[in-house]
Structure 1
Amino acid sequence: MGAGMGVRAGQRLLTAVGLVALLAVGGCSAGGGQQTSADSAGSAERAAPQAESDAGKAKAGAGGGSPDLRVDQRSIVYTGTMRVRVDEVDAAAQSAVTAVTSAGGFVGGDERRSAGAGAWAELKLRVPAARFAVVLEELAKLGRQEHRSIRTEDVTEETVDLDARIATQRARVESGRKLLARATSIGDLVTLEGEVARREADLASLEAKKRRLADLTALSTITITLAGKDAETSDDESETGFLAGLRGGWEAFAVSVGVLLTVLGAVLPWAVALGLPVALLVVLLRRRRRRPAPVLSESPRVPAARSAP
């Protein structure tokens, strides 16, 4: 019996030790979890100001720093020229105007010459930059495209520079107006008025340049030439060979003859008015030179008296 009681006592002791161990492990894990949560909270609190600072720097960079390097955020001026051979110039020109106005643009210039199959038209079209490529393709379908040229100009740096200069100039204008409001003497008033007027003129000039750039970037320019079947074009610069040289030489000869005849027609009245009197004078002088000189009569010679022997 004593042995059985000893066994039960040992079992109780082991159970107690196990319970203590479980409690100790639970406390340690709870403490570690609380410490981890506290560390995480502290890290979050320390990271928040840094994130706000980074966001502020990003905003400052976007507002007044270097320009955005993404293509869709850059300021690009698109300019296109093309020549299309068409059957009916007027109908094709009307289709071109319709395509541009449907895209939100307008006609900036229209020059036409009606001469049957040799007719041609030159249109200067302004279209939104986002619709530039689409409108070009629509215009190319009006007939047989003979020439197309597209030029781009990146004016992002110039735009950013203008924005900075405009902001600085506005601050200068405001400071000049404040000084003008505090002027006490006539001399200071006149001087400050001249300075403020000069600063306002500079600001107006900068703003005009900014509006011009904004117009060029917002609306692209397309110059299209619509040529009839037999219309001559001035873009045959790449044509070479004997026939091209002969044609160029004949054109130069015809131009030279035309110039010579023009000069001759201008000089002829003066030649007639001045040449006739001069010619008559020359004839009279020649006749006078040809007349023989008059022969003078000689007196008879008296023979000399002979001397007596």
Structure 2
Amino acid sequence: MMSGRRWWRAALAAGLVALVASGCGAGGGGDDAGTTSKVQEGAAAPVPAQGEAAPGAGKDVGEAAPNAGAPVKYRLEDRAIIYTGSITVRVEDVSAAAAQATSIATGSGGFVGGDKRSSSDAYAEATIVLRVPAPRFGAVVDQLAKLGDQQQRDISTEDVTEEALDLDARISSQRARVDSGRRLLAQAKTLNELVMLEGELAKREADLASLEAKKRRMDDLTALSTITVTLLAPQAVAPAEEEETEIGFLTGLKGGWTALLGALVVLLTVIGALLPWMIALGLPVAGGLWLARRLRRARVRPVPPAPPTAPPAAPAP
């Protein structure tokens, strides 16, 4: 049999081994939690546009900063960007150039979003709105510029990556709320609970539908870029460009003088519009007043004053 001292030593050694094993297990659990957190952060990658491959397929979408809480950086091809452009081109034949512009858009996988034309030979003009895939945006603009003599080009971009990620997170959270509301509705026991939960569930579903509509709109704008093409005939007037804002004393004096002249023109216009009415209505009214005053004077004649009476004779002495 084992002596009492050896038995206590064996029990102490077993306790130490169990303590060390539990500490290692706790450390491993922390690593699993960190791994899960990283997976959740990686799930916030931007949603790919329609017809494009997923950003995370075969490549690293983003890399986390070394410090905790640092923002995730995405490469350019993984960002959600809205491209918008307008171009003005002077052409010989507006109808033929409009047909070519439409063919360029459809050939690149896009479509015509709007078409407005005015035909008057040398003064013809056409404004066409084209929706083309974002990767083909620059190439389509260059092809449109070659239709004739380019007069103006305006390109703008808007990075909506953060908004897209925020919408994805809000949609995921709202879907969870809707699911929980449906579970609670299935467990309702009284009529009051049923009515209250139905109202709450309807509100949550409406909020979810609104978020999903915003996300679809954003996906449409990022997947298909908008290009407004203005085609001008040789003698058509080009749209005026926006003038730069000027400031200073002379600019203010010029603006004030212009405003004063404009006010005088408006005042004279109003007087000119009212003058015929004043003549047509004022002359009869003035004549009626004059006639009424003459009749009143004729009726009311002044009474002639009485002749003076002789003073009484003085009494005889």
1:122-142 deviation line (CA, Å, top 9, x unaligned): 221111101100110111111
* CA RMSD in angstroms, aligned pairs only: 3.9
Alignment of 1:5-154 (within 5 A): 59-64=39-44, 69-154=74-159
Task: In structure 2, give the amino acid aligned to 1:279.
Answer: A
The residue number in structure 1 matching 2:283 is 276
Counterpart check, 1:196 vs 2:209? no
Which structure has the larger Rg over C-alpha atoms? 1
1:50-78 deviation line (CA, Å, top 9, x unaligned): xx999977654421376551100110000
Task: In structure 2, give the amino acid aligned to 1:232.
Answer: V
The residue number in structure 1 matching 2:235 is 230
| Residue ranges of structure 2 left out of the alignment (5+ in a row) | 1-31, 46-70, 246-256
Q: State the identity as a percent.
A: 52
Q: Distance in 1 between matches of 2:287 and 2:316?
A: 67
Q: Distance in 2 between matches of 1:105 and 1:222?
A: 11
Q: Secondary structure at the match of 2:109?
A: coil
Q: CA deviation at 1:169?
A: 0.7
| Residue ranges of structure 1 left out of the alignment (5+ in a row) | 1-51, 241-248
Task: In structure 2, give the amino acid aligned to 1:281.
Answer: G
Change (3 A) 1:220 1:307: same
Change (3 A) 1:55 1:181: closer
More helix by share: 1
Give the aligned length: 249
Task: In structure 1, give the amino acid aligned to 2:287.
Answer: L
Change (3 A) 1:213 1:263: farther
Q: CA deviation at 1:281?
A: 2.5
Q: Secondary structure at the match of 2:237?
A: coil
Q: Distance in 1 between matches of 2:161 and 2:288?
A: 79
Q: CA deviation at 1:146?
A: 1.4
1:23-48 deviation line (CA, Å, top 9, x unaligned): xxxxxxxxxxxxxxxxxxxxxxxxxx
Task: In structure 1, give the amino acid aligned to 2:89.
Answer: V
The residue number in structure 1 matching 2:53 is none
Q: Distance in 2 between matches of 1:210 and 1:201?
A: 14
TM-score (norm 2): 0.65
Q: Secondary structure at the match of 1:184?
A: coil
Counterpart check, 1:165 vs 2:170? yes
